[in-house]
């Protein structure tokens, strides 16, 4: 009896007549039927992979050909997302699917492993197993399932977020399992396609703005996301970012609010606790009297930066004494004393308070002879950002 258990076990597939041999020690009495079938399937896959090894040169050529099949396919292979004032582009789930299909001799899958309604996130796991080399990579990703007001998503939206997280997890597992040297050239070709050239810049710019308007993104949010002041400043690189952002939203790897966040307006309440405390310390109430608003308007004039200056500048001596200028009369006191450096710094602070991107510099400050004013603008923007930075433990949970 012991001799029979030490021998290999053969099973016959009744549908195909194929004979599968299991290693010794895996008799029916030792393992369940499900485990035996899973092991037999894996062993057969590994045996097939060893018998028909891949050709790396053929894989690289096939991936590039599929990516360059048409313009739309190339666009779908790249996604972009803004991070800390920069736009990061990377390979999308569509490119990962092409890579896995041509790499061959592999298993890849993803699933949702955890839904946390207390911390408000959904977690998924992606798996990639190279049957030829034995390499196995896993990747876990999380997606937020809370609304802007801190509420929880509905059940349907939680399922949608879970599917998006699973898609991202499988993408990361595939890209970690297949060497970058295999698909880097194809990714660069896809970037060149979405970048285009100068001759088609105007047409592609209009096409991008129409596509983004179709998903509910206003021009103001577009300009703030890529750090430009207007449509005429959208160049080849910015256009490539816009197409990649659009594809990321379309493939559900990102969402609209993450890629194109809403632009802060004058009078909006700060989101962080520190920002609210700073607002109270500056003596800026939630609602100002109409006389104070009229005084601010007369002093700022039609200047965009003046209308969005910090609350400290709103409390002018004239407002404190109760004197109001007559209609159409402006204040004779210049807060900048005619100094262009001070004016540029004031605009930089106002730009941060409006929620503008750091790269959205006024066009006039980009002139060659106004570098000092540009430096003052950026320095004031960064200084205001540092003042408003959250300290550990001071951020409110949404």
Domain boundaries, the chain: 16-51, 60-259, 273-319+336-387
Complete edge-to-edge strand list for the sheet that includes strand 136-144: 106-116, 121-130, 136-144
Read off the pLDDT of each residue in 46-59 and give the average, rounded to a whole number. Answer: 92
Q: How far is CA 179 from CA 90, 130, 137, in A?
A: 15, 12, 12
Dist CA 202 CA 214 (whole Å):
19
Phi, psi of 248 (to 5 degrees): -65, -40
| Mean of per-residue pLDDT scores for the chain | 76
pLDDT computed for residue 35 by the predictor: 82
Hey, what are 133's tokens? 């080399």
- In the predicted model, is pLDDT for residue 288 greater than 60? no
Q: What is the pLDDT of residue 358?
A: 78
Give the mean pLDDT of 158-172. Answer: 92
Greater pLDDT, 122 or 256: 122
Question: What whole-number percentage of the chain has pLDDT above 70?
Answer: 70
Cβ atoms of residues 112 and 86 within 8 Å: no
Tell me the average pLDDT across 375-384: 85
300: pLDDT strictly greater than 60: no
SS3 track for 280-299: HHCCCCCCCCHHHHHHHHHH
pLDDT-based confidence at residue 24 (cuts at 50, 70, 90): low
Residue 275: predicted pLDDT: 56
User: In this model, does residue 96 exceed pLDDT 90?
Assistant: yes
Residue 373, pLDDT score = 83
Q: Among the listed ranges 44-48, 188-192, 193-197, 211-215, which one has the minimum average pLDDT value?
A: 193-197
Tell me: pLDDT of 293 over 60.
no
* Residue 303, pLDDT above cutoff 60: no
Average pLDDT for residues 313-341, to the nearest whole number?
50
pLDDT, average across residues 247-255: 78
Among 52-56, 163-167, 333-337, name the one with the lowest average pLDDT: 333-337
Separation between Cα atoms, residue 217 and residue 138, nearest integer Å:
35
User: How many beta carbons lie within 10 A of that of residue 252, not counting itself?
Assistant: 16
Pairwise CA distance, residues 42 & 33, whole Å? 14
> Which pLDDT belongs to residue 332?
42
Tell me the whole-structure pTM to 2 decimals.
0.54
């Amino acid at each position: 009896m012991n001799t029979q258990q030490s021998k290999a076990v053969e099973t016959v597939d009744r549908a195909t007549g194929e004979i599968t041999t299991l290693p010794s020690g895996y008799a029916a009495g030792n393992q369940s039927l499900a485990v035996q079938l899973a092991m037999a399937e894996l062993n057969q896959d590994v045996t097939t992979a060893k018998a028909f090894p891949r050709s790396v040169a053929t894989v690289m050529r096939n991936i590039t050909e599929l990516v360059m099949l048409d313009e739309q396919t190339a666009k779908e292979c790249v996604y972009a997302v803004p991070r800390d004032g920069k736009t990061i582009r990377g390979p999308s789930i569509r490119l990962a699917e092409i890579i896995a299909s041509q790499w061959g001799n592999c298993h890849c899958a993803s699933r949702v492993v955890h839904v946390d309604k207390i911390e408000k996130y959904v977690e998924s796991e992606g798996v990639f197993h190279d049957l030829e080399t034995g390499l196995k990579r896993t990747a876990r990703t999380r997606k937020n399932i809370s609304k802007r007001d801190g509420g929880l998503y509905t059940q349907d939206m939680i399922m949608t977020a879970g599917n998006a997280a699973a898609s991202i997890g499988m993408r990361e597992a595939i890209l970690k399992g297949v060497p970058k040297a295999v698909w880097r050239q194809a990714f660069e070709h896809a970037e060149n396609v979405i970048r285009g050239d100068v001759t088609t810049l105007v047409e592609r710019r209009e096409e991008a703005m129409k596509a983004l308007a179709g998903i509910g993104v206003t021009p103001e949010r577009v300009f703030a996301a890529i750090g430009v002041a207007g449509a005429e400043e959208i160049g080849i690189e910015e256009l490539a970012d816009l197409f990649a952002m659009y594809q990321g939203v379309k493939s559900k790897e990102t969402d609209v609010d993450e890629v194109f966040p809403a632009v802060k307006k004058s009078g909006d309440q700060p989101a962080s606790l520190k920002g609210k405390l700073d607002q109270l310390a500056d003596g800026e109430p939630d609602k100002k009297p109409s006389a104070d608003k009229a005084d601010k308007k007369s002093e700022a004039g039609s200047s965009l930066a003046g209308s969005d200056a910090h609350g400290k500048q709103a409390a002018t001596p004239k407002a404190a004494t109760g004197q109001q200028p007559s209609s159409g009369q402006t204040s004779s006191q210049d807060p900048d004393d005619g100094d262009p450096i001070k004016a540029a710094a004031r605009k930089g602070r106002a730009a941060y308070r409006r929620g503008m991107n750091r790269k959205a510099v006024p066009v006039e400050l980009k002139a060659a002879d106004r570098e000092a004013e540009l430096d003052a603008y950026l320095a004031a923007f960064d200084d205001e950002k540092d003042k408003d930075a959250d300290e550990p433990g001071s951020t409110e949970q949404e």
